[in-house]
Structure 1
Amino acid sequence: MSGAQTQVQTAADDFAEYALLVLGRSEHTVRGYRSDLAQLAGFADTFADFTLDQLRAWLARAVREGKARSTLARRTAAARAFSTWAYKQGYLAEDVAARLVTPKVNRPLPSVLRPDTAEAVVAERAAEHAEEHEEVGPAAPEALRDLAMLELLYATGMRVGELTGLDVADVDLSRGLAKVTGKGDKQRVVPFGAPAAAAVGEWLEAGRPQLVGNAGGAEGPGGALFVGSRGKRIDQRQVRRVVERAAQAAGAAGVSPHSLRHSAATHLLEGGADLRVVQELLGHSSMQTTQIYTHVSAQRLKAVYDQAHPRA
């Protein structure tokens, strides 16, 4: 085939732009759409070829290639979203892919820390912070920042990308509230407790000004809440390294920011929080996503029962 784009490829590019700018899908999701639909275009060059049989053949080849169920589910979702858009645009006489069945994905239960382990991960950085105060005078700004980030991650259950996206103006220390921008640019307000408020307050007072000052005010007084050593907004990789380092020091290897998110959700439910409250806190659009934490809690309850009950 020549280098010219086919009818379906051209339409797929338009759809990807629509998904990003109009539907508000994340860049990660849109990249997935582009990749999947580029492969689909190899099976259906034109919309005359865009039939249910062709779509099923495309997915069947993925099965023969040994693709994971999660990949099949993602490809099915991309085809269905594109088909709906193409039907509304008049490219298709009917929404062809609406009849595709999404393969069920066996979602692994999230890794959840025990409450004492989660607190130990945060406390480990707090202990280092205290030692730095005692031995070398004022704590290094990075130590104040790292403690504040760990406290906020576990206190709120926010995603690492949401943490790095926070600005100074998004945090109200007196009320213990943070305005978080989640997936699809949807905003929500999440609460946090006194330990997180104290850590963030100390970072803002004694840590952040040093890093921003070193960089000539790159982020300014109203810019990014968390900055790196050059005074610019911290990136997600740096946050992950901070969490991993603190976890290893606390004897809990393999912990990520997402582990703290899962743990916060599970511990809230175990403490009696309503499922809808946890859904709002985490920024889940679907209750079904939040319900996975009820399975985690039930699994832990069963483990405790088996260990403690004489008739288990």
Structure 2
Amino acid sequence: MSEREKEREAGREVTQVGAAIDDFADYLSLVKGRSAATVRGYRSDLATLTEFAPTFRSFTIVTLRSWLANGVDQGLARTSLARRTAAARAFSTWAYNHEYLASDVAARLKTPKINRKLPQVLSTERAAELVTQPRANADNPTGPEAVRDQAMLELLYATGIRVSELTNLDVGDLDLDRMQARVTGKGNKQRVVPFGKQARLALNAWLNHGRDEIAGDTPALFVGVRGNRIDPRQVRRIVERAGQETDVPHLTPHGLRHSAATHLLEGGADLRLVQELLGHSSMQTTQIYTHVSAQRLKDVFAQAHPRA
């Protein structure tokens, strides 16, 4: 093969990799039902990978390890490196199944261990104070935004749903009589989550005395001041502000999710039921809350037992 033919072949391979990444992203979204955030993250990771492996011929285990090592040199967090590894492995399997690769090269990559921190967990008393605080401290305590904020906080703590799941809820997803909501989680998987009487009261107040005042032509359950579906960033700000007002700095919606799960387990709920409520695909993800409960038990023991 002449040098010009080799250049042409290399050029075709580069184009092929770029097109393959686009097709792979479509596969993740349309076939696997991965979230837009996951698809964006994988696409971004694979874009950096093509700098090390611009052709399928150069897509080797040595190149992949060099790419990950470069991420370490750049100071990437272990979570980012783990996502890079997952992206490469998923793409490698897809490329092998579509005959771009002769073997599933990245299957030999090992995912770096992630040092998982125990999540922040509120006490039941502090959680109860927090979800009722917005109405008491808002500039307009009876205004639609204050009523909305309390309903969102009550629902987040009552159900443990993710902030993205909360913002995607429509009015039609609620069943106030049965006190349950239909939630669409990761991978577009739907589940039904129950909520209690306090959340129902807050939701009723929002639907009957708040939402109509600011909602535009949208089916969204929670809306912003312009009447459109509320943005997750705005919800995070509302939760953080509520935390500051109750001396819980840097509180996030995920902190309420952690608290809800932990309080359920401490109250005697079965781990598998908590897994279903939270929408975890793996029991391993849910098991972190057993460690949280165990640590809290140790703390209480240390404070209360005379021979601790």
TM-score when normalising by structure 1:
0.91
Tell me how far apart the structure 2 counterparts of residues 242 and 57 of structure 1 sit (CA, whole Å).
43
Task: Look up the match of 2:36.
Answer: 27
Deviations 1:112-154 (A, max 9, x none): 111111111112124347x967xxxxx2111211111111010
Which residue matches 1:206?
209
Query: 1:124, 1:178 → 2: CA distance?
Result: 24
Residues 89-168 of structure 1 mapped to structure 2, 5 A cutoff: 89-128=98-137, 139-168=142-171
Corresponding residue number in structure 2 for 1:136: none
> What is the DSSP-based 3-state SS (H/G/I as helix, E as strand, rest coil) of the residue aligned with 2:210?
helix
Mapped to 1, the partners of 2:259 and 2:288 lie a distance apart of 12
Deviation at 1:3, TM superposition (A): 10
Match status 1:66 vs 2:69: no
1:238 Cα deviation after fit: 1.8
User: 1:66, 1:124 → 2: CA distance?
Assistant: 40
How big is the shift at 1:61?
Answer: 2.2
- Equivalence map 1:16-55=2 (5 Å): 16-55=25-64
> Equivalents in 2 of 1:177, 1:61: separation in Å?
48
Between the aligned partners of 1:33 and 1:182, the Cα distance in structure 2 is 19
| C-alpha separation in 1, matches of 2:169 and 2:63 | 45
Aligned residue for 1:284, secondary structure, equals coil
Measured after TM superposition, the shift of residue 288 of structure 1 is 0.7
Distance 1:85 1:208 in 2: 46
Q: Report if aligned partners of 1:6, 1:41 keep a CA contact under 8 Å in 2.
A: no
Stretches of structure 1 lacking an aligned partner (at least 5 in a row):
134-138
TM-score in terms of structure 2 length: 0.92
* Secondary structure at the counterpart of residue 228 of structure 1: coil
Matches within 5 A, 1:214-293: 217-219=216-218, 223-293=219-289
For the 8 Å contact 1:87–1:95, the answer to whether it is kept is: yes
Moved more, 6-15 or 115-124: 6-15
Distance 1:3 1:196, change over 3 A: farther
Detail structure 1 runs of 4+ shifted over 6 Å in the superposition: 1-4
Contact 1:9 1:37 in 2 (8 A): no
Letter in 2 for 1:197: R
Residues 211/66 of structure 1: CA separation in 2 closer, same or farther (3 Å cut): closer
Q: Which 5+ residue runs of structure 2 have no aligned equivalent?
A: 1-6
Q: Say if 2:301 is the partner of 1:305.
A: yes
Structure-1 separation of matches of 2:140 and 2:45 = 50
Instruction: Give the alignment of 1:183-194 within 5 angstroms.
Output: 183-194=186-197
| Paired residue total | 299
Q: What is the 5 A alignment of 1:76-95?
A: 76-95=85-104
Answer whether contact 1:6 1:45 (CA < 8 A) is retained.
no
Residue identity over aligned pairs, in percent, reads: 66
AA aligned to 1:245 is R
AA in 2 matched with 1:74: R
Q: Which residue type is aligned with residue 239 of structure 2?
A: V
In structure 2, do the counterparts of structure 1 residues 144 and 38 end up closer, same or farther at CA, with 3 Å as the change threshold? same
Greater mean deviation of Cα atoms: 89-98 or 227-236: 227-236
Which sits farther off after the overlay, 79-88 or 139-148? 139-148
**1:206, CA displacement in angstroms?**
1.2
Contact 1:16–1:30 under 8 Å retained in 2: yes
164-173 vs 247-256, which deviates more? 247-256
Distance 1:38 1:142 in 2: 42
Whole-Å separation in 2 of the counterparts to 1:70 and 1:280: 25
Shift of 1:51: 1.4
Give the distance between the partners of 1:63 and 1:142, measured in 2 at CA.
Answer: 45
Q: 2: distance between equivalents of 1:62 and 1:126?
A: 46
Let me know the Cα RMSD of the aligned residues. 1.9
